[in-house]
Amino acid sequence: MDYNERKSIVNMLSTVIVLGIYYWSVFERFDSLTLTTDEQLQFWAKAILIAIPISIVAKIVVMIIFAISNYIITREDLPCFEDERDKLIELKSTRNSYFFFGFGFFISLVVLAFGYPPKFMFIALILAGIGSEIFDNLSKLYYHRKGV
């Protein structure tokens, strides 16, 4: 397993753990509150906006720890540039994750159209966001292993 494959796995796990814990606490808080529809929309908008810096900071910290531990364990220098294959893998993985998120967005609209409360729309959106991140990393892992 090379550096890029390990990086994809670590990225995927950190996304699931960090965002999983964060959204778990958000759902618990949401269930303990009694909100009007407008307040619910505001609540979910704030929750998603707060999730963005949390996931960025968490990703930076995890990548620093990963780079250090990877060097200690393998004694391999980090790749200092991206070549054409890396860029192609990045592009294809991003395309796949956009497809996944697009599908999740569509589902969230269907949920709303069928008259479910906004909570379920946001659950679909959050799952689409986390799922697209996982799909992105799984795609990278697949293309690195099986070829692109």
Rounded Cα distance, 91 and 93, in Å: 6
Our finding on whether 67 is near another protein (CB under 8 A) is no
Backbone angles phi, psi at 75, to 5 degrees: 60, 20
Least gap, CB of 32 to another protein (angstroms): 49
Pick the piece of the chain touching another protein (CB under 8 A) from 21-29, 62-70, 81-89, 129-137: 81-89
Region of 25 please: left (phi>0), alpha (psi -120 to 50) or beta. Answer: alpha
114's tokens: 């069928």
Our finding on whether 39 is near another protein (CB under 8 A) is no
Residue 20 burial by Cβ neighbours in a 10 Å radius (0-12, 13-18, 19+) = exposed
Are 48 and 126 in contact by the 8 Å Cβ rule? The answer is: yes
Pick the piece of the chain touching another protein (CB under 8 A) from 66-74, 82-90, 116-124, 132-140: 82-90
Pick the piece of the chain touching another protein (CB under 8 A) from 48-56, 60-68, 117-125, 139-147: 139-147
Q: Please identify which residue in the block is written with the tokens 């618990």.
A: 28
Our finding on whether 148 is near another protein (CB under 8 A) is yes
- Choosing from 20, 79, 102, 117, the residue that interacts with another protein (CB under 8 A) is 79
Our finding on whether 86 is near another protein (CB under 8 A) is yes
Q: Would you tell me which residues interact with another protein (CB under 8 A)?
A: 2, 4, 79, 81, 83-86, 144, 146-148
